[in-house]
Structure 1
Amino acid sequence: MNVNDSQKFLDKVEGKNIDFLIGSGASSDYISTLSIGEKGNKHSIEDLLTAYNSQKMAQAFLKFLFFDSSVKNGLVSTIHIPEEAMDTLNSYKELIENMLTLSRHNGFERPKRTNIFTTNYDTFFEAAFDDISLEHPLAFFNDGSRGFFTREVSYENYYFNVTHSGSIDTFRREIPSINLYKLHGSLSWSKKVLKDDQTIITSSLKNELLTKIKEESDTILKMLNQGNRIEITDKNVIDQYLSNIERNEELKDKLGIFEKDYSKLLIVSPTKRKFQETVFQKQYYQLLREFENELQKDNTVLICFGFSFKDEHILDLLKRSISNPSLQIFIIPYSESDIEYINSVLKGYTDVTFLRSPDANEPGCFSVLNNFLEGVYDIENN
């Protein structure tokens, strides 16, 4: 969609039901994504797993590479956060600050609620929430978990409007709230079996399974490459590693153990068989349903950032959203090739507006999104 007037982006979104769809690009300055090939012709982990679909050991090796590059460092917190992750955390905090500002501008007739749907496993949003809640006591952050020592994660925990009444109940006002929907699971999630054999999902910064898998992956990395990170430039490099693995029975056994444990993580793996845990499968489909329900509401705005539009389930939901004539979709693209691809997969379904910096050479990034949310950029610059 082309916008030819100088109307501010904020004029388009204020007072609407505002949803965000955030993908792995948001955390890519700290957590890399596994891909090979030249820019504009890269192969993702999904492409690689599909290409080696019939080779059992190749599947285990690629999952190990994915875990080592894109998963294992994602459980961050404000208590123990690496220095190299601080810039990414600060970008998340600035985004949340802008979300709260948007919510406060909503009139009394609309809930002061923003929804974040993310496919990321990492806990940057949770860490940012933790910091910001100290500065904004009259703001409510909901990640779908409830409890004290045992925090149960459930889709039933999202349906709240939060009000502040003062110390003597002389008034009631709704306070801004942000719901975080982790569509692909989280590294903070674990399975817990209760005394009555009921299975629930819990959330904690202590994930014993993740710690165990990290130790297994570190051992494999030492055996493969003396502990140094493995750089994959093309499929020939993968084939060379696979050839070496086939000659090492101990390494094959350790990769088998790693793959078995990795499959128990409550995350959507980038494979055709996305997960094995039934309790997580139910949560996954309920969160997707919540995403679809949000897209069907009147006067809804969906702002997408860092998302590749290659997830089939989410893409199908977006295509079905054409039935909502009031839905507006804004996308912060990373490159021209992103724009071409997104236009091709959404062609004939719905119109989108690409939000770009006035500097045509600046890639899509947190600063571009935050500048639009702060009213620095006009929508005519898309």
Structure 2
Amino acid sequence: MPSAEIAGGGIAGLVASIQLARNGWSVRLHERSDALRAGGNGLPIFENGLRVLEAMGLGDVIKTRGHQLNKWIIRLSTGQTTHEYEPFAATGGRIVMFQRQALVDPLAEAAVKAGVTIEVGSRVIGAERDGVLHLDGGRRLEADLVVAADGIQSVVRKSVAGVLPLGKHRKGAIRLLIPIHPGDFPDGNDRVAIEYNDPGGRRIGLLPCSSQTMYMILVGLLSDSDALKMPIDPELWKETFPTLGRYIDRVGTAGHYDEYHSVFPPAWHYGKCVLVGDAAHGMTPALGQGANSAMMTAYSLGSSDLLKGSLSDALTAWEAKIRPLVHFTQKFAEGITEGRLDPRNDIFFSDPALRPLLSADIPNMRFDMPDMNAVNAPSRGLA
């Protein structure tokens, strides 16, 4: 039985582990933390990510753990509505909000059921291209495949591909979950996501993950250091967004801060080592496609016949099919973050070039994944 060692117990690592185990691999997954904790975040899962879950037999998770949206509203900082979108009409598919932990937990359960060995408190410190994973404490593990799912700062990627420059972008974000209070949805519809945008670059997103919990994100330019300091200055944010005081007052000292980064490795595989998720294609969150793209690359890797012929040829074919689409997504998200594509932030659902991504036929994508090299960039252009 072929063996795989996976670095990283997040969404990408779990999806890859499940698919590899179901396809006859002996899989061990290493998570550096002492538990598979996902942090206090929410995330939108679009049609492409939802089809991954369904293809994995986890469609029930969408209904039992997710919160499907029926409207997305974009407003100015004053509260004036500029756009309203209905997800199916705008993207060709669904948008379902999850608390991140609510997605990690069923994926972990499915991994264990598939026979994956999960080792928590297992800190990966390096790797070798010939299929070796090095752990803190001196353990040296040999495998037929090493999967790097250890994030944008991937230790495995650094070991096998060298130190690569990370794209540092002009924005950062404070993320947290807040409780939903009576009156938050006056019309009774708690399946509405709302973005508030200020011309100075600040943004607040309010995205319900359930009827009890809302994902809140506060975005600012890196040059706007007062807005991005932790804990937040509530009066500063309320001055910019005068209609949102009831939500801002719930933040307190909660939240964690992230700067926006991206990475474009020259290749996604090196010998017996392969990169997935943010380790391969970290992107800015402007399209909400980080987790969705990670699920796609991890699922397609684990579902590929990696042992038919040479591993190198199989990985090359896998990367050639899926990378053009993910690369396009990275560059599109980067263009929005940098203000090159629609500074009003209303491009989120507006360009037909995104349709192949948001409604990709995941179960068949090893064969039918659209080639984004043949898709023209939008007229506003990618700088």
Answer whether TM exceeds 0.5 for this pair. no
- Give the TM-score normalised by the residue count of structure 1: 0.25
Structure with the higher fraction of residues in strand conformation: 2
Structure with the higher fraction of residues in helix conformation: 1
- Give the TM-score normalised by the residue count of structure 2: 0.25
> Larger C-alpha radius of gyration, 1 or 2?
1
